[in-house]
Chains A and B, each alone.
Chain A
Amino acid sequence: MPDKSSDVVQGTLDMLVLKTLALEPMHGYGISVRIEQVSKGVFRPNAGSLFLAIQRLQRDGLIDGEWKATENNRRARYYVLTKKGRQRLSSETREWGRQAAAVARILEAS
């Protein structure tokens, strides 16, 4: 492992999962791999927190799941973003940008 991967910032995993699914429908393992790849190995959600997040998003009606065959001929549950999920993602992204900028400003203040 090049870098020690760290836990996702508290409360942001849901947003990351939504963002990942916004690109294309995906199964659990795919989501995990995609997050790791895109973050260049900084974030690697473990299965427990990932599926907990998936269960939570599903119950909130932000994503939907469906069993499908994978390219390797396995069966997996693919998740897609709902309309409500898309709205939530855009609002959370906006909010995150605001907060991150604010945090950065605080940290940069001398």
Chain B
Amino acid sequence: MSLLRNLGSGLRSLFRKEQVNRELDEELGEYLEMAADEKMKQGMSRQDALRAVRLEGGSLDGTKEIVRSGGWESVVDTLLRDLLFAARMLRKSPGFTLVAMLTLALGIGGNTAVFSVMNTVLLRYLPLPNPQQLVFLRLPNAQPDGVSSTGDGDRSFSYPVFEALRKEHAVFSDLMAYVPLAVDKVAVRIGEDPEEAEGDMVSGNFFSGLGVSFTRGRGFALEDETAHASVVVLSYSYWTTRFGRSPSAIGQTIYVKGVPFTVIGVTAQGFYGVEPASSTDFWIPLQNRPELTAWDEEPSLNTLYGTPNWWCIQLIGRLVPGVTESQALAKLDPVFQSAALIGLGTPDPKAKKNILAFSSTQGIQGLRDDYQKPIQILLAMVGLVLAIACANVSMLLVARNSTRAREFSVRMALGAGRGRLLRQTLTESFLLVAGGAAFGWMFAISGSQALAAWSGMEIPFVLDSRVLLFTLTISISCAIIFGLAPLRRAVSVPVGFTLKTSNATAYRDQRSSWSGKVVVASQMALCLILLVGSGLLVRSLRNYQTLSLGLRVDGLLVFGTDPFSVHSDEEKEHFYQNLLARLREAPGVESATLVSHRLGSGWGWNSVWTIDGVELQRPFSEIGMSANHVGPDFCHTLGIPILRGRDVTDADTRSAPKVVLVNETFSKRFFPKGDALGHSVGKNEPENRFTIVGVIGDSKYKRVDEKSKPTLYFPFAQHTPIPNMQVELRTHGNPEALIPNVHAVLHGLDPNLPIQKPMTQRAQFDESYSQARLFARLSIFFGVIAVLLVATGLYGTLAYRVDRRTSEIGVRMALGAQHGQVLWLILRESLLVSGAAILAGVPVAIAGARLMRSMLFGVQPGDMISFLLALFGVILVALAASIIPARRAMRVDPLVALRYE
């Protein structure tokens, strides 16, 4: 109550200042009059009485000031006045204000953008209610032996395990299952044109258990799962891109691999699925029809419900409130252990123990581990940029405030306390930083979008409250540093001194010019560290780009196919033969071949083989060897040299003798002296032997940075079942120009067939080092900003000092100093500063480079060239920044300079 009254009264004095003042005036005036009346009764004249009252009680204005400063509103009032004054001071020097704000904006914006990446990838929870209760189920010890596995061995479970665990209602209020329909995308048709989209099959409680809200329609119910209903839920972004947010999307039919589904709902904006590294486009209930299998598996091999040892389901659970993770795991363990054995028979007692674990939903699954260290290093780099920017602005402020030393001296002479001046400069720096932070925030918005595009992530980096808090924290610390640093000098100047001396010869002591040099030197040292870091990252990127892939990568187009209407191997072989024949006829196509695992995509096939029926030694008996299924003209189309023997041809059909190509590493490893041709590779059964008919050059398979491994290439039709194949086309011109022709050919074969992820083979290989590319680009960006900031900072300091020394230089020249000597005077200073910077920066850079080791490729942390380039860069910056001031010093006219005094 009294707080409210206090607030109201204070606000009244703030906003109705006139009236409140008048009332106070009147009240005090009456007080004075009454006191005077009293004196006059004792016989004083009116004039004497008034004078006596003033002498006793102080002046009327003084009293008013005391009363007025008593309330809280007076603090606000002075603050407002300080703000207005600061704004006026800043407006008086717009150049300074703009440069300082932009410098800060770069620093703060860069930090905010990088932190937003860190926030999204490492810190942020899924945008769902009570996300702390959600846990992913994990298998840190991998799946049990003997299971049929997908690529995600540490996070996939069998259907019996899901059934057993979902009944544990004391632990999970809901346990949700989700299974991708394909490794990547799946064929979808809406209306006439086939396309592809990313879809998951999910349990009936998926949306309700997660707490997903809906923009339109509804989610699934448990009955949808048990009935395997033909209904589909779209993600907000897919609804936006594919339906233009039309409400009429509800009720429409979508054909998933030719099976019709009815749209019943659209999820809320911002939900990209539980693993948002690649956003999910649609969800359907768990299905049992052969067309729609988990992971696009061949139904004759494994099915979700029919194969208890097919570990393909991913699980996310919502813990009952109050149950800790360790309690939950303890309760789940016995249930999990028995369910895990279903379909596996009696366990081998020596086998490793199956362990169930949880992993939090913080950050982005799958990216967290890869990105943690690089993001921390990036944040450190961008932090250096901020430090350099701060140093620049504080030097600018020092320079500005030393020309204001007279102003401060006058104000102190007139009685302003140091506290008052401190508040004034603090207000000014707060205003500067606020402007810088506002610009920086805008910069961060576009910056984080650019980062998302560069890193190839499908979800935006959100600038949420946590990022805002981060930005505010660094901004406020900047403001405090700026406010204090320059003031210390300004107020330490003796008052009389500045007032007495003239402007040109004004106070200059050795200490202050020292501190300026130290700041510039440390800036240059930071810049050196940054340049070494970016040099190393850029050289790593160069290594990725120029690495020999072992094949002619330019002029290749690759795309995927999924002939889901074709089932038997016979039909499938015929389909692909037919497809190749038609593609070879298509305009622009030089040659065409097939490959089951797309090169450069990170996916591959590993299997254990025997050579001539003999089991191999470790490690090949355990981890196996890389292999791929390929089509005819494989080496010819991809440009892989054939060292001995022949390429795969059209004649290597299902019924033809089984053959295989091996790479050079295989031949050298297993036949170091002899000839691999004519030997055989296979499984134990004699009918599964493949004769080696060709030895071909080593080429990159999964990614650019892999080492050469023994690799086998099998004609695609000679394996059962025949996998879905990727098509590689060679052309003379731009590979992407072929896409319309490919569309036409596929449409001619089957109108439901989409063309999956068409791209140049070069772009596909580039994807395998997209992280390195992102970091190299960013570090170049940071390096350029740092160089610019350091250059302007050094230039500013030198120019300012030359300006202050004009009369000194004039005297020197009048006494006979040559141009060269004057030039050296200035250059020597900047070279000394850079020398000190290099001495200080190199050891730190060496230590910093060690931390980056895991991000480097083909470059040692102590790489000479990177260090030399960085040193060269720093010296170049020093020279470039000193040229203009040095020339100005050379042109000083002694007469003018002396008269200027």
Contacts and interface: CB of A to CB of B under 8 A. Distances in A.
Interface of A: 27-29, 32-33, 46-49, 51-52, 55-56, 58-61, 70, 72, 74-77, 84
B63 A29 contact: no
B66 A75 contact: no
B31 A28 contact: yes
Contacts of A49: 66
B27 A56 contact: no
Interface in B25-49: 26-28, 30-31, 33-35, 37-38
B57 A46 contact: yes
Contacts of A28: 27, 30-31
B58 A59 contact: no
A33 B6 CA distance: 28
A27 B26 CA distance: 12
Given A56-B70, A59-B6, 7 more contacts: A29-B30, A51-B27, A55-B70, A60-B2, A74-B33, A76-B27, A84-B2
5 contacts: A47-B31, A48-B62, A51-B27, A51-B63, A59-B9
Given A29-B34, A47-B57, A49-B66, A58 B9 contact: yes
A60 B28 contact: no
Given A48-B62, A61-B1, A55 B30 contact: no
Interface string B49-92: 00000001110001100110011000000000000000000000
Contacts of A32: 31
Contacts of A84: 2
Contacts of B57: 46-48
Contacts of B5: 59-61
B6 A52 contact: no
A74 B6 contact: no
A71 to B, nearest CB: 11
Interface of B: 1-2, 5-6, 9-10, 23-24, 26-28, 30-31, 33-35, 37-38, 56-58, 62-63, 66-67, 70-71
Contacts of A52: 66-67, 70
Nearest to B1: A61
A58 to B, nearest CB: 7
Contact of A75 (B2, B30, B67): B30
A61 B27 CA distance: 19
A55 B71 contact: yes
Contacts of A56: 70
A79 to B, nearest CB: 11
Contact of B67 (A51, A60, A77): A51
Contacts of A60: 2, 5-6
A48 B2 contact: no
A70 B1 CA distance: 31
A3 to B, nearest CB: 15
Contacts of B30: 27-29, 74-77
B71 A29 contact: no
B2 A61 contact: yes
Nearest to A60: B2
A100 B606 CA distance: 93
B453 to A, nearest CB: 57
Nearest to A72: B37
Contacts of A46: 56-58, 63
Nearest to A50: B31
Contacts of A72: 34, 37
Contacts of B2: 59-61, 84
A48 B34 contact: no
Given A51-B27, A59-B2, A59-B6, A74 B34 contact: yes
Nearest to A53: B70
A29 B35 contact: yes
A80 B686 CA distance: 113
Contacts of A74: 30, 33-34
A34 to B, nearest CB: 13
A84 B5 CA distance: 13
Nearest to B34: A29
A15 B777 CA distance: 71
10 closest residue pairs by CB, A with B:
A48-B66, A29-B34, A59-B6, A52-B70, A48-B63, A61-B2, A51-B67, A47-B63, A47-B57, A29-B31
B67 A55 contact: yes
B344 to A, nearest CB: 78
Nearest to B9: A59
A55 B67 CA distance: 8
Interface centre among B26, B30, B56 (most CB of A within 10 A): B30
Contact of B58 (A33, A48, A77): A48
A32 B32 CA distance: 12
Contacts of B35: 29
A53 B23 CA distance: 16
Nearest to B60: A47
A54 to B, nearest CB: 8
A72 B56 CA distance: 23
A50 B71 CA distance: 14
A64 B28 CA distance: 17
A60 B27 CA distance: 20
B26 A75 contact: yes
Contact of A77 (B9, B27, B56): B27
A77 B34 CA distance: 13
B41 to A, nearest CB: 11
A58 B10 CA distance: 11
B865 to A, nearest CB: 72
A76 B5 CA distance: 22
A87 to B, nearest CB: 12
A74 B26 CA distance: 11
Interface centre among A48, A49, A52, A70 (most CB of B within 10 A): A48
A85 B35 CA distance: 27
A93 B566 CA distance: 99
A60 B7 CA distance: 10
A55 B27 CA distance: 12
A45 to B, nearest CB: 9
Contacts of B27: 28, 51, 76-77
Contacts of B56: 46
A74 to B, nearest CB: 6
A75 to B, nearest CB: 7
A58 B67 CA distance: 13
Contacts of B58: 46-48
